[in-house]
Amino acid sequence: MTHASKHIAYSILDLASVSAGSSIQDTFNKSLDLARKAEALGYTRFWLAEHHNMKSIASSAPSILIGHIAGGTKTIRVGSGGIMLPNHSPLIVAEQFGTLGSLYPGRIDLGLGRAPGTDQVTAAAIRSDRMQSVYKFPDEVASVMHLFRHNEGERIRATVAEGVDVPVYILGSSTDSAHVAARLGLPYAFASHFAPTYLFEAMDIYHREFEPSAHLDKPYTIAGINVIAADTDEEARRLSTSSLRMILGVLTQNMDYLQPPVDYTREFEELAANPAVQRMMKYAFFGSRQTVLEKTKRFIEETAVDEVIVSSHIFEHQDRLKSYELFAQVMQHINEEVLV
C-alpha cells in the first residue's frame, strides 16, 4: 500500500509526563507551551491520554486538561486520546465534552477507548461495575453519541451537548475496537506507539467492514508512533535513554518519574534489544531528521494511514520542543513530495 497521492495530517498525543524534579503544575505549563508550538508548526490536533495512579503521568483528568489547552491556543484541535469510557458514565462524558465543544466551537475531539488506563485494583476503585461496562463498550459509545443529538421529550438528556459538534473517534490497541469503529462509521485511531502487534490486522478489519455514516463517508485512520528527533542520531539515542528507562519501569511495574538522559551504554543497547521492549517499540523512530524522515515515510507507505499521531517522552522541555519541530519539518517534506 502507498499513499503517494494525499496529504498526511500529523498530530501529538501528550501524556503530560512528569520529569524528575518537576511539579505537576510545571508539567501542565509545559503541555500548554508544547500545544502552542504545535499550533504554529502545523500540527492538526493535540490529544491527551487518560491514565490513573501513575506518578510519572499527570493526564488523569483529560477533560479538564483539554479545557486548559484549548483555552490557551487558538486553532489547533484539542481532544482525548482517549477517554477510557468504561471508567465513566456516558452521560457525564457527553456533558463534559458538550461543555468543551460550546466553549471552543469546532475544535474539540472525543476519542473513546475501552482499556482501563491503569492497573486492575485502581480500575475497580474508579468504577466498581467496570467489567460489565467493558463488554457494553459499543452500546456506551452509541449512548454518548445519542446524547449529542436533539433529544426533546426524553427523560434523560445532556442538554449542554445537544447539537454541539464534537466528532467521536474510536481508539484501539487490538482488533475488537476495529469492528466497533467500522460498524459505527467512525474514524479509527490505533495505539501502535506502544501496542503494535495487531496494527495491520485491525486496520484491515476496519477497512473491510467500514459502513459509511452521517459522520464519515469513507474510512479514516490514525496510527501512533514514538519519535525522538535531534540534530544527530547519537544525540537522539542519548535522549532516548529517558524513554527506555520509562519502558523498563512499565514492564517491571516499577514506574518512576521521567529520568534525565545519560550516555547510551551497552546496557541500553541490551535493553533496547530485549524482545518485550522491541515489541512495544516497533514504531519508535529515534534519530536525526533524515533518519526519522526515512522511518516515518516507510511507516506511512506500509500502513496507508491518513494521519500519524506522535508521542515522545523526552526529559528536557526544550529538547522535546526541538524534536516536535524537526518532526513537523519531516511531515512537511513528506507532504511536499505528495504535491510534486
Residue 116 has what pLDDT?
A: 67
DSSP string of 24-78, one letter each residue: HHHHHHHHHHHHHHHHHTT--EEEE----S-TTB--S-HHHHHHHHHHT-SSSEE
DSSP string of 184-248, one letter each residue: HT--EEE-TTT--TTHHHHHHHHHHH----SS-SS--EEEEEEEEE-SSHHHHHHHHHHHHHHHH
Q: Quick check: is 2 in a domain?
A: no
Per-residue pLDDT of the chain (340 residues; tens, 9 = 90+): 344 468 999 999 999 999 999 999 999 999 999 999 999 999 999 999 999 998 999 999 999 999 999 999 999 999 999 999 999 999 999 999 999 999 999 999 999 999 866 777 887 787 767 677 778 999 999 999 999 999 999 999 999 999 999 999 999 999 999 999 999 999 999 999 989 999 999 999 999 999 999 999 999 999 999 999 999 999 999 999 999 999 998 888 888 999 999 999 999 999 999 999 999 999 999 999 999 999 999 999 999 999 999 999 999 999 999 999 999 999 999 999 876 5
Range of the domain at 334: 9-339
Residue 340 has what pLDDT?
A: 58
Largest CA distance in the chain: 67
170-203 as b/e: b if 16+ CB within 10 A? bbbbebebbbbbbbbbbbbbbbbbbbbebbeebb
Dihedral sign for Cα atoms in the order 310, 40, 221, 103: positive
Q: Which three cell numbers stand for residue 240?
A: 532516548
| DSSP type of residue 82 | E
How many structural domains is the chain composed of? 1
Residue 66 has what pLDDT?
A: 98
Q: Could you count the other beta carbons within 10 Å of the beta carbon of residue 318?
A: 8
Residue 239 has what pLDDT?
A: 98
* Residue 241's CATH number: 3.20.20.30
Q: Quick check: is 3 in a domain?
A: no
Q: Quick check: is 1 in a domain?
A: no
Where do we find the cell 521521567? 258
Of 166, 285, 172, 176, the C-alpha closest to 223 is: 172
Q: Which three cell numbers stand for residue 311?
A: 508521542
Q: Please give the single-letter amino acid code of residue 139.
A: D
Angle between helices 137-147 and 90-103 (to 10 degrees): 40
Q: Quick check: is 4 in a domain?
A: no
